[in-house]
């Protein structure tokens, strides 16, 4: 990974989302790399304004639902938004601050990118523009520091595990892919075969489904595989830190990118379905030497650790004129 961006600043950076974990983590991951004090603002507009969020014609500050965080002056130096609900706040903050606040929008906003100072969408969305910085995947909270901390914290759980340690990151069905019981049984058989020679560290997501988790758990009975299903402390960062290689189901962009932050081999487990965007994403991983299709066995290769979050952070620092050595925004 490139060196961590360095910034000493007392003005805050706001993270503005509707509180959805996936969106908040993207914005938080980017904010944490700036070295600024971070304040999280979880916002939600009242009906019917929430249906008009992307194109709301008036300032949203007095249109929030009960429970939303207050969004008012003094305005931050940087605001990072993610998700449709954040868009009217980002637009209004930029205007209300007189341009003092640098506004950064994660994901494709589906509105004119010129509304923001910087837009950071996934490459596979195809958005381009003078203030657009496409990333391979999305920003995340995986950094050298977080991995080092997790490796120490989870050492009692994973250090004595049989090598090679294979982290299996399970997603589930979505609009593009199917992941039903037939797919779970096929995956379970592959994992049972691997468990004969490798230590398996498996984590399931909400989309995996309890029935599919049960199928995989039963297939691994008698092995030393560890399967986290949501009970107890989440060992996800520990899996990333201790893995010698990864298997990631094809449906998840975020988990593939988080695995790629380690520099360890990433095997993409195929699922029925797919889309042009997913295909483009997986091809981009392959071109950079990060990922290969899972063929039933674990291979070993190396590549430069993926650090798109750091690249985006350096672009923000350049816009703030606080890092003269930062590379071009497109690089």
Note whether residue 108 is domain-resident: yes
How far CA 227 is from CA of 1, 169, 211, 247, in Å, comes to 29, 10, 14, 14
Task: Write the CATH number for 96.
Answer: 3.40.50
Shared domain for 288 and 175, answered yes or no, is: yes
Helix 253-260 / helix 276-287 crossing angle, nearest 10 deg: 10
Q: Report pTM.
A: 0.86
- Residue 120, Cβ neighbours under 10 Å: how many? 29
Shared domain for 38 and 113, answered yes or no, is: yes
Q: Give the closest residue to 285 by CA, choosing from 146, 124, 169, 127.
A: 124
Note whether residue 122 is domain-resident: yes
Report the share of the chain in percent with pLDDT over 70. Answer: 94
Long-range contacts of 119-128 (CB under 8 A, 24+ apart): 120/30, 120/312, 122/253, 122/281, 123/280, 123/281, 123/284, 124/277, 124/278, 124/280, 124/281, 124/284, 125/277
Shared domain for 162 and 26, answered yes or no, is: no
pLDDT at 232: 83
Shared domain for 201 and 277, answered yes or no, is: yes
- Identify each DSSP E strand in 87-153 by its residue range: 102-106, 118-120
Note whether residue 1 is domain-resident: no
Report the share of the chain in percent with pLDDT over 90. Answer: 85
Joined together, the tokens standing for residue 18 give 């509707």
Note whether residue 235 is domain-resident: yes
How far CA 110 is from CA of 29, 68, 140, 174, in Å, comes to 22, 23, 21, 21
pLDDT at 331: 36
Shared domain for 76 and 105, answered yes or no, is: yes
How far CA 276 is from CA of 98, 111, 124, in Å, comes to 41, 22, 9
Shared domain for 106 and 148, answered yes or no, is: no
Contacts of 267 by beta carbon, 8 Å cutoff, 6+ apart? 245, 246, 247, 248, 291, 292, 293, 294, 298, 299
Shared domain for 194 and 284, answered yes or no, is: yes
| Number of compact structural domains in the chain | 2
Note whether residue 329 is domain-resident: no
- Residue 325, Cβ neighbours under 10 Å: how many? 9
Calculate mean pLDDT across residues 284-289: 96
Range of the domain at 18: 13-136+308-319
pLDDT at 58: 86
| pLDDT exceeds 50 at position 65 | yes
| pLDDT exceeds 80 at position 24 | yes
Task: Write the CATH number for 214.
Answer: 3.40.50.2000
Condensed to tens digits (0 to 9), the pLDDT of residues 198-251 reads 999 999 998 999 999 999 999 999 999 999 977 888 999 999 999 999 999 999
Shared domain for 122 and 164, answered yes or no, is: no
Calculate mean pLDDT across residues 99-106: 96
**Preceding omega of 249 cis (within 30 degrees of 0):** no
């Amino acid at each position: 990974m490139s060196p961590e961006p360095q910034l000493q600043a007392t003005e805050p950076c706001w993270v503005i989302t509707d509180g959805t974990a996936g969106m908040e983590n993207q914005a938080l991951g980017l904010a944490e790399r700036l070295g600024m004090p971070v304040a999280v603002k979880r916002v939600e507009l009242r009906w019917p304004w929430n249906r008009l969020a992307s194109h709301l014609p008036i300032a949203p500050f007095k249109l929030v639902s009960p429970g939303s965080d207050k969004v008012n002056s003094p305005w931050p130096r940087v605001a990072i938004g993610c998700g449709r609900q954040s868009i009217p706040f980002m637009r209004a903050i930029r205007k209300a601050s007189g341009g003092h606040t640098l506004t950064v929008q994660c994901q494709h906003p589906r509105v004119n990118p010129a509304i923001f100072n910087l837009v950071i969408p996934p490459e596979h969305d195809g958005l381009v523009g003078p203030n657009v910085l496409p990333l391979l995947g999305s920003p995340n909270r995986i950094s050298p520091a977080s991995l080092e901390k997790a490796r120490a914290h989870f050492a009692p759980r994973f250090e004595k595990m049989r090598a090679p340690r294979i982290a299996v990151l399970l997603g589930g069905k979505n609009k593009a892919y199917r992941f039903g019981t037939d797919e779970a049984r096929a995956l379970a058989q592959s994992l049972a075969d691997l468990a004969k020679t490798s230590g398996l560290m498996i984590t399931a997501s909400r989309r995996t489904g309890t029935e599919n988790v049960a199928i995989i758990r039963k297939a691994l009975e008698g092995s030393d595989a560890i399967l986290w299903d949501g009970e107890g402390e989440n060992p996800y960062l520990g899996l990333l830190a201790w893995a010698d290689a990864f298997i990631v189901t094809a449906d998840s962009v975020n988990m593939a990118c988080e695995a790629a932050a380690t520099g360890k081999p990433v095997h993409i487990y195929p699922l029925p379905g797919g889309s042009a965007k997913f295909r483009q994403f997986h091809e981009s991983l392959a071109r950079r030497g990060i990922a290969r299709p899972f063929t039933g066995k674990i291979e070993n290769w190396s590549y430069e650790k993926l650090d798109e979050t750091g690249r985006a952070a350096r672009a923000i620092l350049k816009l703030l004129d606080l890092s003269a050595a930062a590379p071009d925004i497109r690089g």
